Structure 1
Amino acid sequence: MKILMLSWEYPPALVGGLGRHVHALATSLATAGHAVTVVTRQAPGAPADEVADGVRVVRATPDPVGLPMDPANLLPWALAFNHALTRAALGAGGGHDVVHAHDWLVAHAAMTVHEAAGTPLVATIHATEAGRHQGHLPHPHNRTIDGVERWLSASAARVIVCSDYMRAEVSRQFDVPADGIDVVANGVEALRWQARPRAVAAARARFAPAGAPLVSFAGRLVYEKGVQHAVAAVPRLRLRHPGLRLVVAGDGPHRAALQAQAAELGVADAVDFTGFLGGHDLPALMAASDCYVVPSIYEPFGMVALEAAAAGTPVAVAATGGLAEIVEPGGTGVQFPPGDPDGLADAVSSLLLDTDYARALARRARRRVRDEFNWPAIAARTAAVYAAAAGPAPQARPAESPAQPPAEPAGRPGRLQEAGRA
């Protein structure tokens, strides 16, 4: 199969987990024998057109008038980026069996390629704007993104999401029939998270005094990641576990507020904000930790919990979204109510106080990651979605009774027509 993927991030241009996801999926599909082209944004020092790890990577040259990437208002940048992305995608050659769009930031380019070439469109919705804001869309900016997500979802032959939670959310939020949505979990490159013993020992010495419990978190420092609740739990955790350290790896708009919170609570010396950790540093930190915590308020999947499990670390996660599906309480980790610092402290303490229990959970979690979330299996499931998208259009359902109006066709065109009337 010949596949064209569109993504706003791809190595070396990485912002969050999406770029790593697309890279692993693309390379796994290529290894399985598919011809994969990824069209993405330009990255300093990266070639405009190259074959890397079996994947052709085309990086779009931005227009001469550059617009800043402002996280508070991405729309101007996204519109200009999509113009450049469309130009690069159309110039990358044709004959693709499917075009795969990753999130709303590439929607306009994906739609143009889909319509110009008549190529079936598959869309992965990694998260929704409404979900990130707990169902509230406070500004025109947020409502516009929500509208683009709705447009992309309605236009795709198939929609891919990472969890049953996201399947229900996308179906409800965008009025997409559940049978048009495929759940394909995110995958984990387990070997990437196997840190060398020397690196683990160095991380332990760097982040925690000898004998002190070490708890870690990694991710973007934004409200929905819930780091504020992890920081709020530190005073209680320190009372139970003297010398405990919390390491927060990552960056984002909430970093200053989180640092101020730690200072106000009198635990600034116990919370280490490292900024972004790349390369081998993050796996080493995870493996050195006694517990890895995921305090998210909104989490479509929670891949970082699986990455920590692959590193061999016991995990404590908020019982929300996809996290509640991938971490079995008492089986592969522990859970706590989202937004509850006391519950978080109790969950983490249960792991710190019973190391045998924690290690047993970690062993089972690592085995599950290896068996169920490996990338070759994820790539095969994704290829099956592509085949379904490229297959024959579904037949119209007959009217339920002569007294009722004819039912709308089951396929995507009916949803597109409805979206056009909205």
Structure 2
Amino acid sequence: MVFAPPHTVFVILSFEGPDVYSQAGGLGVRVKGLSRALAQIGYQTYLYFCGDPDLPGEESHESGRLVYRRWCQWISARHRGGVYDGEEEKIRDWNTSLPPSLIDNVIAPAVEAGRNVVVMGEEWHTSWSMNLLSETLYYRGLRDRVVMLWNANNTFGFHRINWSALALAATITTVSRYMKFKIWERGHNPIVIPNGIPRASIQDADPEAVADVKAAAAADHFCFKIGRFDPDKRWLIAVSAVGYLKRHGKRVRLLIRGGREPHGGEVISHAQHQGLKVIHINSPAEPAELAAVLRQHPEADVVNLTSFVSDAMLGVIYPACDAVLANSGHEPFGLVGLEVMAAGGLAVTGATGEDYAVSYRNALVLETDDAIELVTELNLIQQRPRLAAAIRRRGRVTARAYVWQKVIEQLLLRVEYAAAQQAVRLPEVGSEYLRPARRRTRKPETSIG
């Protein structure tokens, strides 16, 4: 292994991060899982992100191998609405203050200690800082010891990126073949490295809690949808399908968790016009509380969870539901679908960036924006429970192929290519870090006669 843990430091730059304040979508989940997995493998890892202003500026995890550095906190203290509140001011502060601090406090000491550094920038917010970082490293004579990758998780902000400058500063990567095509349209050919999920997410929730929530729903179709209130997530199609099923005599319960986006008002209004009864509640902390809410409000067709839903709760909700509606029309990767598979749930995905999803094998894949297609698929899994069970089993198998430890194996091989592309001097790796070839020993031949 060229970039072995003793010789390599990883740095991840991302506006989103592990704090509740810092999570607005899949990016925060991605960097949280990736940084923790790198540290668990043995890499010294630094995660820079726009963190909660009330938490420490620096925080260590994984026996000191993972260091959180919360940036722009003085701005976040005046913008309490989440990571993208005060976005432009944070970008300016990030570009001005982060590159020199990163070089002085992480990169220069690592190079002096004989290590190489891998810097991974995430999304358009970090594109300018990647350029500034590369230029400063050249000026200080350190550029040939740093591998720089910039990753696109979505098309947000593409119009603001100086693509030619970014391609000179870093090797461009993305998370799916669908996103690769989107970047082709900008004149560049990125490397695809998929997203991953924590190994710990592949586990069975308490079966009693799952059964209790499912029984409390008391529905022919019990579904869940989580994500930003964004038209690309096809919320209106999901709600239309639920309304259709109700008008045709089916008992339907739809749990939803969106964000603060304006489209949320349109979603709720559309549900009401579909004849659906909507209630709004704070997200329960325990499965028993959710089951109690469902029993107390049997008239509610749509239950809108208005606050953060913990990973532990999601681990119960996913398998308790008949289907989790991750039916986006534009999905760069579709991390929710993988998380559903890992928890033993049944994912309904779109057909864009979800490279891992194969219809009727490990998921239900919607090919159109027609609500009737979703209605048909929901009826299918109700009428064919053995098929639904098989999809859940195969989904779990798929999830195991995307745990972060396996994705990082791909990442490290791509880092070697990026290092060659950027003329980075490689560390001198001792023989103890090279995997020895297996020797086959011949069995002694037995004598005959």
Matched letter for residue 347 of structure 2: V
The structure 2 residue matched to 1:355, chosen from 376, 385, 394, is: 385
* Number of the residue aligned with 1:278: 310
How much does 1:393 deviate? 4.8
The structure 1 residue matched to 2:213, chosen from 197, 200, 203, is: 203
- Indicate if the aligned counterparts of 1:287 and 1:312 stay in contact, CA closer than 8 A: yes
* Number of the residue aligned with 2:18: 11
SS in 2 for 1:326: coil
- Indicate if the aligned counterparts of 2:53 and 2:77 stay in contact, CA closer than 8 A: no
Q: CA–CA distance in 2 between the matches of 1:73 and 1:64?
A: 7
The RMSD of aligned alpha carbons is: 2.5
The structure 2 residue matched to 1:346, chosen from 370, 376, 379, is: 376
The structure 2 residue matched to 1:115, chosen from 135, 146, 151, is: 135
Q: CA–CA distance in 1 between the matches of 2:85 and 2:48?
A: 25
- Indicate if the aligned counterparts of 2:134 and 2:169 stay in contact, CA closer than 8 A: no
Q: CA–CA distance in 1 between the matches of 2:48 and 2:221?
A: 44
Q: CA–CA distance in 1 between the matches of 2:35 and 2:126?
A: 17
- Indicate if the aligned counterparts of 2:53 and 2:73 stay in contact, CA closer than 8 A: no
- Indicate if the aligned counterparts of 2:76 and 2:86 stay in contact, CA closer than 8 A: no
The structure 1 residue matched to 2:70, chosen from 59, 71, 89, is: 59
How many equivalent residue pairs? 371
* CA spacing shift, 1:89–1:393, aligned 2, 3 Å: closer
- Indicate if the aligned counterparts of 2:130 and 2:169 stay in contact, CA closer than 8 A: no
* Number of the residue aligned with 2:31: 22
Q: Superposition pairs for residues 221-240 of structure 1, below 5 Å? A: 221-239=229-247
Matched letter for residue 393 of structure 2: R
Query: What runs of 5+ residues in structure 2 fail to find an aligned partner?
Result: 1-7, 138-142, 278-299, 424-449
* CA spacing shift, 1:101–1:265, aligned 2, 3 Å: same
The structure 1 residue matched to 2:353, chosen from 299, 315, 322, is: 322
* Number of the residue aligned with 1:165: 178
* Number of the residue aligned with 1:128: 155
Matched letter for residue 211 of structure 2: A
Q: CA–CA distance in 1 between the matches of 2:87 and 2:417?
A: 33
- After TM superposition, the score normalised by the length of structure 2 is 0.76
- CA deviation vs aligned residue, 1:141-165 (integer Å, no higher than 9, x gap): x6xx523263565234322211111
- Indicate if the aligned counterparts of 1:283 and 1:311 stay in contact, CA closer than 8 A: yes
Q: CA–CA distance in 2 between the matches of 1:327 and 1:368?
A: 9
Which of structures 1 and 2 has the bigger CA Rg? 2
SS in 1 for 2:105: coil
How much does 1:88 deviate? 4.2
Query: What runs of 5+ residues in structure 1 fail to find an aligned partner?
Result: 130-141, 395-422
The structure 2 residue matched to 1:244, chosen from 252, 273, 276, is: 252
Q: Superposition pairs for residues 331-342 of structure 1, below 5 Å? A: 331-342=361-372
- CA deviation vs aligned residue, 1:230-265 (integer Å, no higher than 9, x gap): 001112222456211111123231221111111111
The structure 1 residue matched to 2:105, chosen from 67, 83, 92, is: 92
- Indicate if the aligned counterparts of 2:147 and 2:422 stay in contact, CA closer than 8 A: no
Matched letter for residue 56 of structure 1: V
- Indicate if the aligned counterparts of 2:176 and 2:194 stay in contact, CA closer than 8 A: yes
- After TM superposition, the score normalised by the length of structure 1 is 0.80
- Indicate if the aligned counterparts of 2:37 and 2:198 stay in contact, CA closer than 8 A: no
Q: CA–CA distance in 1 between the matches of 2:215 and 2:257?
A: 16
Matched letter for residue 155 of structure 2: T
